[in-house]
Chain A
Amino acid sequence: MENAVLHVADVHKSFGGLHALSDIDLQVMEGTTHAIIGPNGAGKSTLLNVCIGRLAPDSGAVVFDGEVITGKKPYEINQMGVVRVFQTPEIFPDLTLLQNVLVPAFAKHDGAFRFNAVKSLQDRKDIAEEAELWLGDVGLAAKKDLVASSLSRGDKRRLELAMGLVQRPRLLLLDEPTAGMSRHDTNSTVDLLKKIKERGMTKVIIEHDMHVVFSLADRITVLAQGQIIADGTPDEVKGNPKVQEAYLGGAHL
């Protein structure tokens, strides 16, 4: 029997009069890749913000691994294994790529705080190697000593991905990981995400690119105007007329 890693239970969130999320009830099963799709402004990123503690829901709760995480601090939620890859790159612009990946790597190994000033970075070869490995996996190994702010937008997205993956999360939340990437980079990112899936990592992925969605997702939830309008396997969702109307204005997926 599969069990739900993440359960978003009856979440409401409004900004002033705008209902960004209403009545959201969603379960993400262990080991699956769960896609969330929907038009711009549907509330997808807001949903992730609620999951990682960036926004507090007006009502409802988020349960991770049987524990309510609503109300916890973002760093506590991260330490539990819920890691987000941001839609607009949220990197450390003045640090090198390697340092960008080392920060979350140390947070994973040493916890939320550790006065770690006796050992130098060089003494933590294991962590450095791991960081370089992930940089290699996203195709940025050659650029590891560059300052992150010098990267192109697509490269920043890939760096974001490495910063999330290096923490080996229990649940990875990806917000449009391929937006801004070239076709070639998109394909290699999809390959990477498939590889991770084989290792059993549970993922939630928000994506506009249907090619990416259908090549990765086990299950798809469709959001429109803050509400779930469909939820099911890719084939079920593909054939759902409501989805075609809301999402593509009647065009066929």
Chain B
Amino acid sequence: MTRLSRQDSLFLLLVVFLTLATPILLQPFPEGSSLAQFNAGYPDLMQRFAIYGIFAMGFNILFGLTGYLSFGHAAFLGVGSYSVVWMYKLLGFNVVPGLILAVITSGIFALLIGYISLRRSGIYFSILTLAFAQMSYNLAYSVFTPLTNGETGLQVYGKDPQYLMGPNSPNSPHFFGLAMIDSVKLHLAGWEFTFNIGYYFTAVIAIIAFYIALRIFRSPFGLMLRAIKTNRTRLDYSGVNTRPYMLTAFVISGMYAGLAGGLLAAMDPLAGAERMQWTASGEVVLMTILGGAGTLMGPILGAGFIKYFENIFSKINESVLHDWFGWLPHGVQDFVVAVINPFVGEGWHLTLGLIFVLVVVFLPGGIMEGFQRIWKAFGRKSVDSSAQTELNPAE
């Protein structure tokens, strides 16, 4: 085996720490305080952060490194979910067989779709991936209903065989007996922290996924993918067969998506075709670009950012706003609330859209570029800048 550079080891340690401490870090406000609704340290949401972080990390290996923009990665997410639920139905609620199957089936799926889509590049590649994903979505509702259970969605029924279910096995997704839904709650002064098994299981997998992505970024394979992004034709004249490189990157990112889809079903034992819809494919593109395509941390931050908005910002409604601006004179209060209201609650998409436009225009490198500028302003060197520019083996 090989070692990581000092810088990368520190980087990895930092990621491990942040991931494991998430239940505390995302719960900064005491219970019952007016800001408590901004707390994100509850299991369901934290699991989503980790799962979509994995999805975006894998997408970034394709899009961030090679520049090939897939608009169909949600198909793999769906395949992963269906695989896991099928294993629940056949074997039982242990998530391990399902997750292994999810990675394998999404890999095979990605191999087929990638083999054909990669015959084209640029916008034609994007459209081919989009077409394949929409086909998968439609087939899940029609031809494949025996496999997908159509519009109802795939779920576990009492009559399912579940051959490996022991008498004492939990009756919900579990990891060798540790039920995903179990949590330990810790009350400290006014604060409440929830340490959930499902979250920590997902977090450990996310850390492993991050480590693998880090290795790919630092490897000769990763260098070839970067070279494809900047000048693919030159590689032909440098003795490199770019096709298998592209296909491998595509399959790896498809497997990441399948794993993420599988983990969604580990959180909630359901799989539906809506997971394959183009909006879900578009979301991972937004996450990656918002966070910073081609950086290691960016897509994870982008995923967290969007999921936070979707779950927290969307809960702010008119009465909450009136609460906040209660100190203003009545007329002014109504006016301020009327101005802000379209941007919160149901309107969170609008705010996210505005932020996205601002980021793309002023920070083409995404949130990571923002961080780097701040670090630079303080005269320091950011850790992740190495992910973008330094692949210096002499260090």
Which A residues are closer than 8 A to B by beta carbons? 52, 54, 73-75, 78-79, 83-84, 86, 90-96, 98-99, 102-104, 106-108, 110, 112-125, 127-128, 132, 145, 147, 163, 167
Contact = CB atoms under 8 A, between A and B. Distances in A.
Contact of B5 (A74, A75, A122, A125): A122
B245 A113 contact: yes
B120 interface: no
B229 A145 contact: no
Given A113-B245, A119-B2, 18 more contacts: A75-B235, A92-B230, A92-B231, A93-B231, A94-B230, A96-B392, A98-B392, A98-B393, A98-B394, A104-B238, A106-B223, A107-B238, A107-B239, A116-B219, A117-B215, A117-B220, A120-B4, A120-B215
B177 interface: no
A112 B221 contact: no
Contacts of A90: 231, 233-234, 237
Nearest to B247: A113
Interface of B: 1-5, 215-216, 218-224, 226-227, 229-231, 233-242, 244-245, 248, 389-395
A74 B2 contact: no
B220 A132 contact: no
B237 A78 contact: yes
A96 B220 contact: no
Given A74-B237, A78-B239, A120 B394 contact: no
The 3 closest A-B pairs by CB, nearest first: A78-B239, A107-B239, A112-B241
A175 to B, nearest CB: 12
Contacts of A95: 223, 226-227, 230
A116 B235 contact: no
Nearest to A163: B238
29 contacts: A52-B237, A73-B241, A74-B237, A75-B237, A75-B242, A78-B239, A90-B231, A90-B237, A91-B231, A92-B231, A94-B229, A95-B226, A99-B223, A99-B227, A103-B224, A103-B240, A106-B224, A107-B240, A117-B215, A117-B219, A117-B220, A117-B222, A118-B215, A119-B2, A119-B219, A119-B220, A120-B2, A125-B393, A128-B393
A92 B1 CA distance: 30
Contact of B391 (A83, A91, A96, A108): A96
A124 B223 contact: no
Nearest to A103: B227
A84 B237 contact: yes
Contact of A122 (B216, B221, B393): B393
Contacts of A106: 220, 223-224
